[in-house]
Amino acid sequence: MDKKYLEDRLRELGIYSEYYHRLELKLLAQVVPYDEQINCILTGVYEGSRRLCAVTQSRILIISSGVLDQKGGIVIPRNKVTSWNFDKKFLLSSASFTADGKKYEFKQTQAGRKDLFEWAMNQPVKEYD
């Protein structure tokens, strides 16, 4: 996927203006193929650093592009996700999901992502061969 295609998808989702400047988008465009649709993007504090979380048809990608953070990215297949939750609060919203018995939680995320996150997590999982 190229960055222009990704930016067009963010416009379709109505969230382009919040993420166009994020450095993580360059890496995201490189790891998501054209036939995999991105359904939600949010940012939050995960394991002590601000990360970008992208929910696609088949995966959840956790990406960091900070110079000080060398942990790279995490890929979780959507079919491994057993539960999810979005706790919407004025300033301290959080999004979380559990996969293979491990809980992934993003604190200090955008409260306005609740509906999009829940919609994305409720979409059918697309399996690739």
CB 24, CB 6: distance < 8 Å = no
Cα–Cα distance measured from residue 44 to residue 109, given in angstroms and rounded to the nearest whole number: 4
- pLDDT exceeding 90 applies to what percent of the chain? 64
Q: Report pLDDT digits (tens) over 53-78.
A: 999 999 999 998 765 455 568 999 99
Average the pLDDT over 85-109 and give the result: 95
CB 95, CB 106: distance < 8 Å = yes
Number of other CB atoms surrounding residue 19 within 10 Å: 20
Q: Residue 128 — pLDDT band, cuts 50, 70, 90?
A: low
CB 113, CB 39: distance < 8 Å = no
Q: Report pLDDT digits (tens) over 18-60.
A: 888 888 888 888 889 989 999 999 999 999 889 999 999 999 9
Report the amino acid identity of residue 89. K
Token digits of residue 125: 């999982």
